[in-house]
C-alpha cells in the first residue's frame, strides 16, 4: 500500500509535458464576433503564433524566431488552416487583414474577416474546431457583440458549436464554463500543478524554530493547514489575475514564465533547507502573486465589459481553487499517513523535492533561453 502511495505522488509530482519550455503556456485563441443592426457579421481572431507554428509550420529557419516576413509568407496556409476550423451557418467567411498583436508578451496572429451570409430561417450557429486535433486542452474564448447585448463563451472540444445569439446562454451557464476553465487551467498547467505538489510534500508537517519539520498531530489540523495554504495561493493569484485582466498590470509572459519556474525551485529548496518564511501560507501567497500574472493571459485579451469580466474572473478563480483542492485531496491522505515515517521525512520527501527542483530547473533554463 505504501509503495502505491509513493508511486501516486511521484506520478503527480513529475507530470510534465514533452515541451518543457511551454509547461505552463496554455493553448488559447480569442475570437471576437460583431453583428450589427443590419445583420452584418465582422470578426477578429487572435491565434498564438506558437500554436500556428505547431499547426502549419512558421519557423522555417528552425531558429525559434517567427518574423513578420515568415508570417506573411505563410499567409495563405494560415488562412486556409483557420478557415477549415471556423464556420458560421449559411455564411462564407472572407479574410480581410493579417496583423500581429501581443497579449502579455506573447505574439498572436490577428485575422480579421467578414461574413457574407444568405438568409436562413434557422438560428445561426458558429462551429469552432481550431487545434482540437492537435491539443485537446486548447480553448477558444469567444466574445459576441450585437445591438441587443454581449456574451462570452468558452469553446472546447465538448462545446465547439454555439448559437450566435446573446440571449442563447444564461449568465449561470457562462459562469460554470469559466469555473471549468479554471479547473482545466490548474490541472493542465503543469508548473502550477508542480508548485502545489511541492507544497504538499510537507503538508502534514510544520516547521519548528530550528528549521526542522515536525509532524502535525491530527488529520483536521493537517486539512486546515492545507486549505489555508491553498486559499492563500488562490487569493494571491486572484489579485494579480484581476489586475492583469483589467489591464492595470501588463507583465510579459516571457519574463513571468521563468519566474514561475524559479518559484518552484525556491519552494523545493525550502523543503530541504529553510530559506523562506516558516508559515507556508505566506510562501503560497507571495509566490501566488507571480503565478497570477500567468493566469492573467487567459482572460485579459477577451475585451469583456467590466460586469462580464468580473463574472468570468469569479468563475475562473473558483475553478482554480477547486482544481487545487482536488489535487490536495489526493495527496493529503498520503502525506498524513506517512508523516511519522523516518524513511519518508529523511529520504522520500527530499527525493521528491529534488525531482521537482530538477524539472523546474529544466523549465527555467529553457524559458530563459527563449528570452533572446
- Tell me if residue 73 falls in helix, strand or coil: helix
Q: Round to whole Å and give the CA distance between 32 and 209.
A: 55
Angle at which helices 280-299 and 306-337 cross, to 10°: 140
Strand blocks (E) in the chain:
28-35, 41-48, 86-88, 91-103, 106-117, 125-128, 139-146, 149-155, 161-163, 205-207, 213-215
193 burial (CB, 10 Å; 0-12 / 13-18 / 19+) is buried
Model-wide pTM > 0.85 = no
What sign for the dihedral angle of Cα 35, 38, 39, 41?
negative
DSSP H or E run through 206: strand 205-207
pLDDT tens digits, the chain, 372 residues: what are they?
444 555 555 555 554 443 444 445 568 899 999 999 888 999 999 999 989 998 998 877 766 678 888 899 899 999 999 999 999 999 999 999 999 988 766 789 999 999 999 887 778 899 999 999 999 889 998 989 888 878 888 899 999 999 887 555 555 567 888 898 889 888 888 888 899 999 999 999 999 888 899 999 999 999 999 999 999 999 998 999 888 878 788 777 788 889 999 999 999 999 999 999 989 999 999 999 999 888 776 676 666 777 778 888 899 899 988 999 998 998 899 889 999 999 999 999 999 999 999 999 999 998 887 655
Amino acid at each position: 500500500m505504501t509503495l502505491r502511495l509513493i508511486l501516486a505522488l511521484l506520478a503527480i509530482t513529475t507530470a510534465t509535458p514533452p515541451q518543457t519550455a511551454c509547461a505552463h503556456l496554455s493553448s488559447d485563441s480569442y475570437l471576437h464576433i460583431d453583428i450589427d443592426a443590419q445583420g452584418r457579421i465582422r470578426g477578429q481572431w487572435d491565434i498564438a503564433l506558437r500554436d500556428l507554428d505547431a499547426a502549419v509550420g512558421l519557423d522555417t529557419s528552425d531558429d525559434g524566431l517567427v518574423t513578420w516576413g515568415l508570417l506573411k509568407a505563410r499567409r495563405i496556409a494560415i488562412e486556409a488552416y483557420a478557415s477549415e476550423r471556423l464556420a458560421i451557418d449559411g455564411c462564407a467567411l472572407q479574410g480581410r487583414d493579417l496583423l500581429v498583436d501581443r497579449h502579455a508578451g506573447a505574439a498572436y496572429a490577428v485575422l480579421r474577416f467578414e461574413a457574407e451570409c444568405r438568409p436562413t430561417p434557422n438560428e445561426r450557429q458558429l462551429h469552432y474546431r481550431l487545434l482540437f486535433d492537435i491539443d485537446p486542452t486548447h480553448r477558444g474564448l469567444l466574445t459576441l457583440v450585437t445591438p441587443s447585448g454581449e456574451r462570452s463563451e468558452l469553446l472546447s472540444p465538448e462545446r465547439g458549436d454555439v448559437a450566435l445569439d446573446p440571449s442563447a446562454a444564461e449568465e449561470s451557464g457562462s459562469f460554470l464554463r469559466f469555473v471549468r476553465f479554471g479547473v482545466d487551467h490548474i490541472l493542465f498547467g503543469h508548473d502550477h500543478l508542480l508548485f502545489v505538489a511541492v507544497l504538499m510534500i510537507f503538508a502534514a508537517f510544520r516547521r519548528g524554530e530550528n528549521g526542522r519539520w515536525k509532524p502535525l498531530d491530527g488529520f483536521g489540523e493537517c486539512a486546515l493547514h492545507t486549505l489555508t495554504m491553498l486559499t492563500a495561493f488562490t487569493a494571491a493569484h486572484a489579485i494579480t489575475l484581476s489586475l492583469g485582466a483589467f489591464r492595470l498590470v501588463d507583465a510579459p509572459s516571457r519574463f513571468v514564465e521563468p519566474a514561475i519556474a524559479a518559484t518552484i525551485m525556491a519552494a523545493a529548496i525550502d523543503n530541504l533547507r529553510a530559506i523562506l518564511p516558516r508559515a507556508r501560507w505566506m510562501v503560497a501567497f507571495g509566490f501566488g502573486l507571480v503565478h497570477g500574472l500567468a493566469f492573467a493571459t487567459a482572460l485579459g485579451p477577451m475585451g469583456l465589459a467590466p460586469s462580464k469580466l468580473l463574472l468570468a474572473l469569479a468563475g475562473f478563480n473558483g475553478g482554480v481553487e477547486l482544481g487545487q483542492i482536488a489535487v490536495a485531496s489526493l495527496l493529503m491522505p498520503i502525506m498524513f499517513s506517512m508523516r511519522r515515517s523516518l524513511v519518508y521525512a529523511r529520504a522520500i520527501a527530499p527525493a521528491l523535492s529534488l525531482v521537482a527542483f530538477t524539472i523546474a530547473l529544466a523549465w527555467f533554463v529553457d524559458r530563459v533561453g527563449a528570452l533572446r
